[in-house]
Amino acid sequence: MVGRLLASFIGISKKLLRFPHQREDAKAATTVVMTAFGDGCSLGLRGGPYGSFRAQLEALPWHLRSYFCEGHATGLGGRSAFRLRRENPDLFYGTEEYKVARFLGYGFWNGLSSVSPVPALSADGPYWAGVLRWKELHSLVGNGSAYSAILSYGAFDGKIKSRILALRDAEARQAALHGAGRVLWLLYMYNFPALRELLDSNSALAEHIGIGMGFAIGFLQAVIPERIQQSIAEFSPWQQAHLKRGAGIALAVHACNDAEGRDRIEALAKGELREWYDTALAAARDAGAGPGWYGRYHDLTKRSAG
């Protein structure tokens, strides 16, 4: 019952969201990704079997599968959070594919819990027992949570910024700012004057916000790689350095999702774009393992910022 009610709520909310600060053809791109996310979320909340999840995932074009999986993980997170006996939702998948999307999705649910009267998923390590690379990737939950909260408010205002900066852990603050950058691209897609001003007015935080913004630019437009570079060229040179790092990470995540994603990215990414991508892959390798991986990884991506 809870799953069906929440699935209906997500579907209605998806239709009601408006993005008045977007420009150009942003509406069409937004509708496509939000539909994929919403369909995944509805399935996850209803508790559909793995076979249904896999069939719907594979029916999508390669560049939309991550949005579907992120939404599905959001839905699974909601089901787990509402259960009296909570269960680790990641055990549903039994594969390492789309790991980043899944962790962002669990964070998206927690972001909803910060603005709505719904329970949050636990952040305790024991709750996530059996999940490979939890120590390395758990900060993505905070990334997704910040994204969701800002999306709900419709702005990166002082209240949310203060909440992020009050986080005690430096890596948690970094991840949350990455999430803020990701959602700012959605809220202001192709409105480059507004995006430049957002980075300028948050200059002390611009590195991390810019990485998140660059990630969103690269991830959404991966199927049209020249559009990635055209979008980044709209920013000032110092802003571009951060955006390039994020775009390279986005391409690397697409490539790590599944075999088709890797084949497509490696066929599409040429020239400077390929350098950003290769740097992001090398950073993942060189960052090692264990606690602190998230911060080490992002520091290593600076090698692509020249």
DSSP string, 257-301: H-HHHHHHHHHH--HHHHHHHHHHHHHHHHT-SSTTHHHHHHHHG
For residue 233, the 8-state DSSP code is: T
pLDDT at position 304: 56
Q: Which residues contact 155 (CB under 8 A, 6 or more apart)?
A: 187
Q: Which residues contact 259 (CB under 8 A, 6 or more apart)?
A: none
Range in 12-16, 183-187, 260-264 the model is least confident about: 12-16
pLDDT band at 84 (very low <50, low <70, confident <90, very high): low
More confident residue, 86 or 128: 128
pLDDT at position 283: 96
Range in 16-20, 112-116, 284-288 the model is least confident about: 16-20
- The model's pLDDT over 44-58, given as tens digits with 9 standing for 90+, comes to 988 889 999 999 999
- The model's pLDDT over 210-237, given as tens digits with 9 standing for 90+, comes to 999 999 999 999 999 999 999 999 999 9
The token pair that represents 278 in the structure block? 């290769």
pLDDT at position 18: 74
**Mean local confidence (pLDDT), 243-260:** 97
Evaluate whether 301 touches 248 at the Cβ level (below 8 Å).
yes
- The model's pLDDT over 164-213, given as tens digits with 9 standing for 90+, comes to 999 989 999 999 999 999 999 999 999 999 999 999 999 999 999 999 99
pLDDT at position 116: 80
Residues in the chain: 306
CA dihedral 162, 163, 168, 174 (to 10 degrees): -80
> What is the CA 13 to chain-centroid distance, rounded?
19
More confident residue, 83 or 184: 184
- Letter string b/e over residues 218-256, b meaning 16 or more CB atoms within 10 A of that residue's CB: bbbbbeebeebbebbebbeeebbbbbbbbbbbbbbbbbb
User: For a pLDDT cut of 90, what percent of the chain falls above it?
Assistant: 76
Evaluate whether 142 touches 179 at the Cβ level (below 8 Å).
yes
- The model's pLDDT over 135-174, given as tens digits with 9 standing for 90+, comes to 999 999 999 999 999 998 888 988 899 999 999 899 999 9
Give, in degrees to the nearest 5, the angle at Cα 215 between 24 and 78: 95
As a whole number of Å, the end-to-end CA separation of the chain is: 53
The mean pLDDT of the chain is 91
pLDDT at position 205: 96
Q: Which residues contact 10 (CB under 8 A, 6 or more apart)?
A: 38, 41, 42, 45, 75
Q: What radius of gyration, in Å, describes the C-alpha atoms of the chain?
A: 18
pLDDT at position 157: 87
Owner of token pair 């009296």: 84
pLDDT band at 118 (very low <50, low <70, confident <90, very high): confident
pLDDT at position 123: 82
More confident residue, 21 or 10: 21
**Mean local confidence (pLDDT), 66-80:** 94
d(CA 168, CA 191): 33
- pTM for this model (two decimals): 0.94
The token pair that represents 132 in the structure block? 């490979």
Torsional class of 258: left (φ above 0), alpha (ψ -120 to 50), beta (otherwise): beta
